Amino acid sequence: MSSKHKWTLLVLLTMLDCLPTFAQSGTDWLENTMFASGKINVVVAVVATVFVLIIAYLISIDRKLKKLEERDKN
């Protein structure tokens, strides 16, 4: 490994070591907007509703497919 590669690797590792420090400094927009105004509850409710509806749709398609497969066997 050449000296240039070692130097580059050292610089990259040093930069990666500082990333958690940058992530913890100050408040972010999520805390200032969503949590402070209570909108995060609306977002969670909408995502949960969409998830439940997708699961229900997949279950109904599965039941219809099973009926078609049973009808096709006979």
24 DSSP assignment = T
Is there a single domain that holds both residue 43 and residue 72?
A: yes
pLDDT band of 56, cuts 50, 70, 90:
very high
Is there a single domain that holds both residue 24 and residue 46?
A: no
Among 28, 52, 25, 54, smallest CA distance to 40 is for 28
**Range of the structural domain that residue 24 is part of:** 1-33
Say yes or no to pLDDT of 28 above 80: no
Put simply, whether the predicted model's pTM sits higher than 0.75 gets the answer no
Q: Residue 30: which residues within 8 A CB-CB, separation 6 or more?
A: 40
Q: What is the pLDDT of residue 18?
A: 66
Is there a single domain that holds both residue 42 and residue 72?
A: yes
| Residue 11 or residue 21, greater confidence | 11
Give me the number of domains the chain comprises.
2
Is there a single domain that holds both residue 28 and residue 52?
A: no
Averaged pLDDT for residues 34-61: 90
Tell me phi and psi for residue 48, to 5 degrees. -65, -40
Q: Residue 33: which residues within 8 A CB-CB, separation 6 or more?
A: 39
